[in-house]
Amino acid sequence: MHEQSITELAAGLREKGFSSRELTEHYLARIERLDPALNSYITVSADTALAAADAADARIAAGDAGPLTGIPIAHKDIFLTEGLKTTCGSRMLDNFVAPFDATVVERLAAAGVVVLGKLNMDEFAMGSSNETSYYGPVRNPWDTTRVPGGSSGGSAAAVAAGLCAAASGTDTGGSIRQPAAFCGITGIKPTYGRCSRWGMIAFASSLDQAGVLTRSAADAALLLGAMAGFDERDSTSASEPVPDYGATLTDDIAGLRIGLPKEYFGEGLDAGVEASVRAGLAELEKLGASITDISLPNAPLSVPAYYVVAPAECSSNLARFDGVRYGHRCEAPQDLEDLYKRSRAEGFGAEVKRRIMIGTYALSAGYFDAYYLKAQQLRHLIADDFRRAFEQVDLIMGPTTPTTAFPLGAKTDDPVAMYLNDIYTIATNLAGLPGLSVPVAPVDGLPVGLQMIGNYFAEGRLLNVAHRLQQATDWHRAVPPGFA
């Protein structure tokens, strides 16, 4: 059952081939048996999942079921989930039980999904390898000596290994697309504001965006359609109407104009990854798309701009974790200052502390204009590059990552090398554009992702093109050895 698409699972539920309880028990058994090798889950909520499955079966029996009713999924542990521990992968929130649901969780629950549990992640979404989690690293199901990517590494690993039918994730600088590429699945980050951030623990508020990780673009269309839409509780939520993403999945892509940024095919790109990406592009040409070279001249500056803007926002957002109201609190503080210092020193990991310090420095008197203001100016230049590019082409494509998944520990001592792993994904977040990673041909048995970038609110077009590629190929159907 775990190798079936969400559409196939929904059909099986409707036709009484199996019940949601049986399906949920199947996934729970796989988690118990297989997840110790991956560490993709922080919390498994078996009792509440089975109760939700029984409720879904009742809805199906009453003829009140939608396409997601009874489908077992899991949430990245950055989304507040009422009654469940929500940790953000940090010791700081190890004892925190969410008092309400995030909007994303709430909307998917209304659609009838069954929540299997909460998925591991880089601490406060800060990382590109899922090695900064307080609960230990997640391992890539294609090779358990390698990283799954981050920060949504638990989500990607669980979907790839068949430990849930789909998973939520968040993307601040590539944290859905990069792990999707490393684990051989489909991941989409919609336009900034398309999905509500209410109840999603903030890292960098002007960059964070919720999205989904699935086995296919068709599955992603179902999940995103249920999640997306305006939310009055989120001041950054977009009021743009949400189309029926499923209705345009099979649209013809003849005449589609694809732009390839020369900056994404230069030094640092692995030759095998480039060959695989170009093979995927060749399949799109067979379907009638045309390809032209373009330039995003400020794209190489996206990494330094991002690593000023994002830490600055994180230093502000994480100031709330002080040991007073909730979260980790040090033992026997001597006074208020001691409470703040020791609670934060004990509760945050090394990468989070590094980014808080960088951000605080960039925002400090005397350095704000030199660093933060300059980074924001660069951000506008990067967005202008995309605007000009979309006057010439419909979609922009290239590699999601410069290499395949790297070994665990390979970059933990070199933060800059780790940061450069997001060199092709960060610009999309700085501009607020939608991006999607879809699997193409593997290299030496490891997955590779083709990244597709669309204009604002062009999620439907991205899903359409990805689906047509998946109709023509079977790269997305590959299953990691040992997880069939």
**Active site residues per annotation:** 76, 151, 175
Q: Residue 277: enclosing H or E segment and its boundaries?
A: helix 271-286
Nearest to 108 by CA among 56, 182, 178: 56
* Virtual torsion, Cα 120, 435, 141, 467, nearest 10 deg: 130
Backbone angles phi, psi at 352, to 5 degrees: -65, -45
Cα 225 to Cα 68: distance, rounded to the nearest angstrom: 11
Cβ atoms within 10 Å, residue 244: 10
What does DSSP assign to residue 241?
Answer: P
Dihedral, CA atoms, 113, 202, 177, 299, nearest 10 degrees? 150
DSSP state of 247: G
Residue 64, judged by CB atoms within 10 A of its CB (0-12, 13-18, 19+), counts as exposed
* DSSP result, 55-124: HHHHHHHTT---TTTT-EEEEETTB--TTSB--TTSGGGTT-B-SS--HHHHHHHHTT-EEEEEE--SGG
Q: Are 274 and 351 in contact (CB under 8 A)?
A: no
Buried b (16+ CB within 10 A) or exposed e, 352-388: beebbebbbbbbeeeeeeebbeebeebbeebbebbee
Torsion of CA 198, 221, 19, 56, to 10 degrees: 30
CA–CA distance, 250 with 246 (Å, rounded to integer): 8
Q: DSSP code of 200?
A: B
* Residues 261, 292: Cα–Cα separation, whole Å: 9
Using CA atoms, how far apart are residues 378 and 452, in angstroms rounded to an integer?
A: 22
198 touches 208 (CB < 8 A): no
